[in-house]
Amino acid sequence: MSEKEKMLAGKIYDPSDEGLALRRSETHKLCKRYNDTTEDEAEKRTEILNQLLPNKGKGAYLQGPVYFDYGVFTSIGKNFYANFNLTILDCCKVTIGDDVLIGPNVSIVTPVHPLRYQDRNMRVKKDGTVFDYEYAKPIIIGNNCWIASNVTIIGGVHIGNGCVIGAGSVVTRDIPDNSLAVGNPCKVIREITEKDGIELRKDLF
């Protein structure tokens, strides 16, 4: 297996691999270009975003700044919105459904490092290249989700359809469909039902 194949399969891989390092470098440059644009440069933003995220649906909007490791391993559905400071470390596949809203300062991180420092610490190859042992786990976010501000989603997590993840949460395990989930670690508080419809909130009208 190539280092890329190992990475996407969730195996231990070498992040210093030349092909992976080159792809990350190109992606980081695209992020920098995107982050240097302003909201009134829509055409320029679209051109950069098409290169950065070739697997995105119609109507995707990223406020910026944005930070991706690879971009090509992230799939985004239609009508996606991300507020300021979105970070996606897509060393394994990140799949985001349709009509997903992302608050500011959200991190979606697939990489995992060994618990033992003997396995985790940096190593040096004979040619002087520094590397570490790393692996990654995929992340799935379903349709119609709202991920509130300052949320961190850890590799291996599947968030179901119609979920709301409360501000500041750290999601370390799967969240079932239509759940309101909050906390560190993130836990399901209750199911979201028709009783939560805004038409029932007289104080809002």
Distance CA 6, CA 16 (A): 13
In a domain, residue 203? The reply is: no
Would 96 be classed as within a structural domain?
yes
Report pTM.
0.95
Helices (H), ranges, the chain? 3-8, 18-35, 42-52, 117-120
| Residue 164, in any domain of the structure | yes
**204, part of any domain:** no
Catalytic residue at 113? yes
Out of 11, 29, 32, 113, which one is annotated catalytic? 113
Kindly give the interhelix angle for 18-35 and 42-52, rounded to the nearest 10 degrees: 160
Residue 201 lies in a domain: no
Which residues, including other chains, have CB under 8 Å from residue 182's CB and lie 6 or more apart? Answer: 165, 166, 167, 169, 189
CATH of the domain at 125: 2.160.10.10
Counted domains in the chain: 1
Share of the chain above pLDDT 90, in %: 90
Asked if residues 186 and 178 have their Cβ atoms less than 8 Å apart, the reply is: no
pLDDT (0 to 100) of residue 204:
83
Rounded Cα–Cα distance for residues 181 and 163 (Å): 8
Query: In this structure, is residue 202 part of a structural domain?
Result: no
Tens-place pLDDT, residues 109-124: 999 999 999 999 998 9
Domain encompassing residue 45: 3-193
Provide the pLDDT for residue 40.
93
Q: Which residues of 165-202 are buried (b: 16+ CB within 10 A; e: fewer)?
A: bbeebebeeebeebbbbbeeebebeeebeeeeeeeeee
21-63 pLDDT per residue, tens: 999 999 999 999 999 999 999 999 999 999 999 999 999 999 9
Q: Is residue 72 part of a domain?
A: yes
User: Per the domain annotation, does 56 fall within a domain?
Assistant: yes
